[in-house]
Amino acid sequence: MKRLILPLCFLFVLLPLWSQPAARPVPRITRVEVRSRVPGREVRKEPVLAFVQPVAGDIYDPKVVNLDVRRLQETGRYAYVGAEALPERNGLALIFVVEERPRLRSFTVTGAEHFSNTRVRNWIEIQLGDRVDIGKVEGELEKVREKYRKAFYPEVGLDVQLGETDEDGFADLTLVVEEGPRLRVKQIEFEGNTEFTRAQLLKAMQQKKTGLLSFITKRGRLLEDQLRQDMLTIEDLYRRKGYLDAKVGPPSIEENDRGGLTVTIPIEPYTPYRIRSFRIEGNTLYPVSLLGAQVPLQVSGPAASDKMEAGRRGIRDFYNSRGYSDTRVNQQVLLVPGTQELDVIYQVKEGRIEKIRSVLIRGNTRTKDHVLRRELLVEPGQILNEVQLRTSTRRLQNLSFVELANHALLPTEDPDQVDVEFDITEGRSGTFLAGIGFSSVDSLVGFVEVSQTNFDLFGPPSFTGAGDKLRLRLSLGTERRDSELIYTKPWLFDRRLTLNATAFQNDRQFLSDDYDQRNTGFSVGLRKALWGLWRGGLTYTLEEIDVYNVSEDASQSIQDEEGKNTRSGLEYRMTRDSRNHVFEPTKGGRVVLNAGFTGGPLGFDTEIYNMGARSSYYYPIVLDHVLNVQGWARFVDSYGDSDSVPIFDRYFLGGARTIRGFEFRDVSPVDDEGDPIGGQSALFAMIEYNIPINDTLSYALFYDWGVVNADAYDVSVEDANSSYGIGLRVSIPGFPLRLDYSFQHLNNEFNEESGGKFSFLIGYSY
């Protein structure tokens, strides 16, 4: 039994071991390979194998392989890294599958208008030759989005496009920027403003808020450079009122709940200063009484910065205009301790008299020398006058064909003499314009205009350089056809005598429903400055007037006007213009006096004479409101062999340009059949009150009054007509729009109407 028990125990111990399966053999790596993920594309093996630990013969360890994959991914060289273990006869083949990122051959940004393509490109940190990681590029785009958001482009779109990788592993990268709409300024507020109305500050600013027609005018765009300049402008407004310590800005710009921007401008005016005294020192040639008259400051008045500077310039110009061109005037401002009062001291350093040796003009390649020289107020041998010198430069600058003009003083061998040099830059003198107009009078009109403001009639082949003006204008509309060729010579015989010559044909169908009228002819006129703001001109006109297409239903008096009539006449006209702006004045006025005659010693078919006077004045009221008062009187009569005034020389009222509550030319004497036939005396008056809403829009309240009488010099007003109404003015450069709605107030028996009347014009009223 003892012999049997011992083997049995041994068997019992070994039995569990025999019951376990045999251990699997550990595979070994037979080979390590590198393959491109992109079929047909070669991939360099060495950079991959440099990061791989296993080699042929090693035992395969998945943990080691996964670690190698991560290390390859972290290099940034590869867009994809994977590993495959493929069974083979004697073990496993380890295959690393990679896709290399392309190298950057070029990087282009398009569509970045606000910041520029170059600036956007510089914000993205990627260089030529770098591996292109689209994920990192997308991360860099957040910088761009943030900058656009801060510039108030909330809808900016950024699209990255990576081109095909070439056989050398290079690709092109393109960033397409779609900026989208920029938020517009819808509100401008002022904090701390004490001296000006909100409307006055808004008018002084270049930055504007949105208006009714912003979709056309682009008004309301945020312009940072202009806004910064506006801060200086507002500061200057306060300093002109004596607030010399005033500080304005910086502005805050925030999005508001109206889908736009609110610009808030802080103003710290502080305390205004006043003038205690001003004095002049250093003067020996002229007494203080003369020099002090050049200073507009008032003792106890506000210390206005512009008036203090005007005093300095006034004293300097007083000396300069008398030949002391190098006189210098310094301004010193002293604060009276314990007060807000200032003492202003003008320190004069008197110069010496210098004469002009020669006057030189540089830079004119097309314009003849004498054309520029005739604008100058200085000439060789004169005592140098700085005021005249600056005025001469300004006159050169105002020539339409001169873009820039400057002057310089050049020293000579003689210390008492200088040379004056004017340097000009010529600009474009030829223009081409095309456009359309529309009104309730003459309907739709399109025009084409070609002009040359530096024309030379005798200067082929370019015909430029003499400073003359030539303009050709053609208009074609549903109710009119006009053509004009106008030649203007500003200096006739090298004197400030202006010659105007015009050839024209005006074909108008809107004058009457009963007939059409065509005027064909030419005019020649001379105009010159008289005294002050007055100018006078004499014009001769020869024209053929054809009344045609007379309706069969027209009255006999109108049918009698049918046919051609040749008129030869002279007219003298005097004008005085003190308006502060030609097209949209707010101050000043214009007066026109005229008298003329046709026939008699001038011959041809018509013998009439006429005279008239017209005035229009503009008065600034509070808050930029403007009151405009206009009035005119005209008279015409026949003489000699003419026993009546032709219909085309008679006067009519009514329509958008005169009495707005009546049809065009309906305010007039009528014949036996009730057709308007015009009169020989006419009086007209208008008063209009303009209320600005912003720089583009304004309201107008108006009253028009007028009368047309059949006989010459008849100023009776029994048959006067009038209307009143409200209007809207839309000020778009080159496209001003006037909309009016009016009601009749006074009317005679021929012009009775009920209800209101709408009228409109595209253009300016003079």
The pLDDT assigned to 652 comes to 94
In this prediction, residue 64 carries a pLDDT of: 85
Residue in the block written with tokens 């403001």: 453
No. of H helices and E strands in the chain? 13, 32
Would you state the pLDDT for residue 711? 93
Q: Are residues 611 and 691 in the same domain?
A: yes
- Two tokens, residue 397: 């600058």
Instruction: Map residue 616 onto helix, strand or coil.
Output: strand
Token representation of residue 463 = 């015909």
* Rounded Cα distance, 116 and 110, in Å: 9
Say if residue 16's pLDDT is above 70.
Answer: no
pLDDT band at 300 (very low <50, low <70, confident <90, very high): very high
Which residues neighbour 466 within 8 Å (Cβ) at sequence distance 6 or greater? 368, 371, 454, 455, 456, 457, 458, 459
- Please give the pLDDT value at position 328: 93
Residue 294 has pLDDT above 90, yes or no: yes
Asked if residues 574 and 530 have their Cβ atoms less than 8 Å apart, the reply is yes
- Contacts with 317 (C-beta within 8 Å, 6 or more apart), sequence order: 294, 386, 387
CB 318 within 8 A of CB 290: yes
Is 12 among the domain residues? no
Strands (E) located in 51-121 = 78-88, 91-100, 103-110
Q: Are strands 721-730 and 697-709 parallel, antiparallel or unpaired?
A: antiparallel
Instruction: Inform me whether the pLDDT recorded for 3 exceeds 80.
Output: no
CA separation for the pair 621, 628 (Å, rounded)? 10
Mean pLDDT over 18-23 rounds to 48
- Dump pLDDT digits (tens) for 377-417: 999 999 998 889 999 999 999 898 999 999 999 999 998 89
Identify whether the C-beta of residue 544 lies closer than 8 Å to the C-beta of residue 553.
no
- pLDDT surpasses 70 at 24: no
What does the pLDDT read at residue 704?
96
Nearest to 441 by CA among 187, 697, 154, 738: 738
Closest-CA residue to 637 (of 668, 658, 606, 669): 606
d(CA 761, CA 727): 11
577 and 669 co-located in one domain: yes
- DSSP alpha helix (H) spans, 469-601: 556-559
Residues 709-720 have pLDDT tens digits of 999 999 999 889
Instruction: Decide if pLDDT at 163 tops 70.
Output: yes
Q: What is the per-residue pLDDT for 315?
A: 95
User: What is the spatial distance between Cα 702 and Cα 725, in angstroms, rounded to a whole number?
Assistant: 6
Cβ burial of 50 (10 Å; 0-12, 13-18, 19+) is exposed
In a domain, 659, yes or no: yes
User: What are residue 35's phi and psi, to 5 degrees?
Assistant: -135, 145
Residues 342 and 377 in one domain: no
The angle at the Cα of 294, spanning 292 to 297, to the nearest 5 degrees, equals 75
**Gap between the Cα atoms of 207 and 219, Å rounded:** 9
526-534, long-range: CB within 8 Å, 24+ apart, which pairs?
526/492, 526/497, 526/498, 526/499, 526/500, 527/497, 527/498, 527/500, 528/496, 528/497, 528/498, 529/496, 530/574, 532/576, 533/576, 533/577, 533/578, 534/574, 534/575, 534/576
Q: 201 lies in a domain?
A: yes
CB atoms within 10 A of CB 650: 21
Distance, in Å, from the CA atom of 511 to the CA atom of 514, rounded to the nearest integer, reads 9
**What per-residue string of b and e applies to 189-224 under the rule 16 or more CB within 10 Å gives b?**
ebeebebbeeeebbeebebbbbbebbeebebbbbee
CB-neighbour burial class of residue 505 (10 A; exposed 0-12, middle 13-18, buried 19+): middle
**Does the pLDDT of residue 80 top 60, yes or no?**
yes
Q: Is residue 72 part of a domain?
A: yes
Please write the tens of the pLDDT for every residue from 424-455. Answer: 999 888 888 877 766 766 677 888 899 999 99
Query: Which CATH number covers residue 615?
Result: 2.40.160.50
Does residue 601 sit in the same domain as residue 748? yes
**pLDDT bucket at 48, cuts 50 / 70 / 90:** confident
Range of the domain at 298: 274-349
Consecutive H or E run containing 611: strand 608-620
Measured between its terminal Cα atoms, the distance across the chain in Å is: 146
Residue appearing with tokens 């002090």: 292
Domain-terminating residue out of 349, 373, 400? 349
Q: Is the dihedral of CA 46, 48, 50, 52 positive or negative?
A: negative
Residue 25 is encoded by which pair of tokens? 């053999």
CA atoms within 13 A on the CB side of 364: 24
Banded pLDDT at 638 (limits 50, 70, 90)? very high
d(CA 503, CA 48) in angstroms, rounded, equals 88
pLDDT score at 217: 65
pLDDT over 70, % of the chain: 93
Average pLDDT, integer, range 205-213: 80
At 212, is the pLDDT very low, low, confident or very high (cuts 50, 70, 90)? low
Same domain, 321 and 366: no
pLDDT tens per residue across span 640-657: 988 899 999 999 999 888
Give pLDDT, residue 239.
Answer: 94
CB 311 within 8 A of CB 297: yes
**Taking the mean position of all CA atoms in its chain, how far away is CA 402?**
20
User: Would you say residue 376 has pLDDT above 60?
Assistant: yes
Q: Is 459 helix (H, G, I), strand (E, B) or coil?
A: coil
Q: Which of 272, 222, 274, 276 is nearest to 252 (CA)?
A: 222
What is the model's pLDDT at position 369?
Answer: 92
pLDDT surpasses 60 at 18: no
What integer pLDDT is reported at residue 444 of this predicted model? 75
Are 568 and 669 in a shared domain?
Answer: yes
Higher pLDDT, 249 or 305: 305
Q: Per-residue pLDDT for 4 more than 60?
A: no
Query: According to the model, what pLDDT value does residue 219 have?
Result: 77
Residue 19 has pLDDT above 70, yes or no: no
Does residue 109 belong to any structural domain of this protein?
yes
Q: What is the pLDDT of residue 236?
A: 94
C-beta of residue 387 within 8 angstroms of C-beta of residue 411? no
| One-letter amino acid for residue 469 of the chain | K
Residue type at position 648: F
**726 token code pair:** 């409200």
* Model confidence band, residue 198 (pLDDT cutoffs 50, 70, 90): confident
- The three-state secondary structure class of 476 is strand
How confident is the prediction for the chain on average, in pLDDT? Answer: 87
592 with 637, same domain: the answer is: yes
Could you tell me if 587 and 613 lie in one domain? Answer: yes
In a domain, 289, yes or no: yes
**Among the three residues 284, 319, 349, which one is the final residue of a domain in this structure?**
349
Q: Which residues contact 537 (CB under 8 A, 6 or more apart)?
A: 498, 500, 525, 526, 527, 528, 572, 573, 574
Confidence band, pLDDT 50/70/90 cuts, at residue 133? confident
- The domain boundary, picked from 219, 243, 268, lies at 268
Instruction: Give bridge partners of residue 497 from the DSSP assignment.
Output: 528
- pLDDT, one tens digit per residue, over 538-549 is 999 999 999 998
How wide is the angle at C-alpha 71 spanned by C-alphas 67 and 74, nearest 5°?
140
Phi and psi of 605, rounded to 5°? -90, -30
What pLDDT, on the 0 to 100 scale, is given for residue 754? 62
**pLDDT for res 734:** 63
* More confident site: 148 or 4: 148
Same domain, 730 and 611: yes
Residue 619 forms part of a structural domain: yes
pTM: 0.69
Least trusted range by pLDDT, from 162-176, 187-201, 251-265, 746-760: 746-760
Q: State how far the Cα of 39 lies from the Cα of 375, in Å rounded to an integer.
A: 80
Is the distance from CB of 147 to CB of 123 less than 8 angstroms? yes
Give tens-digit pLDDT for 730-750: 887 666 788 999 999 988 877
**Same domain, residue pair 191 and 324:** no
43 and 93 fall within a common domain: yes
The answer to whether residue 17 scores a pLDDT higher than 50 is no
Comparing C-alpha atoms, which of 400, 390, 392, 410 is closest to residue 367? Answer: 400
Contact assessment for residue 721 and residue 682, using Cβ atoms and an 8 Å cutoff? no
| 170-178, strands of its sheet edge to edge | 103-110, 170-178, 157-162
**What's the total number of domains in the chain?**
6
Least confident of 12-26, 313-327, 592-606: 12-26
85 within domain boundaries: yes
- Contact partners, residue 272, CB within 8 Å, separation at least 6: 241, 242, 243, 302, 303, 340
Tokens encoding 154: 């909330």
pLDDT of 22 over the 70 cut: no
Residues of the chain above pLDDT 90, percent = 47
- pLDDT tens string 98-107: 877 888 888 8
pLDDT value for 5: 56
Q: With 70 as the cut, is the pLDDT of residue 135 above it?
A: yes
Same domain for 143 and 217, yes or no, is: no
Q: Residues 312, 315, 320, 326: is their CA dihedral positive or negative?
A: negative
Q: What is the CATH number of the domain that holds 289?
A: 3.10.20.310
Q: Is residue 648 within 8 Å of residue 547, measured between CB atoms?
A: yes
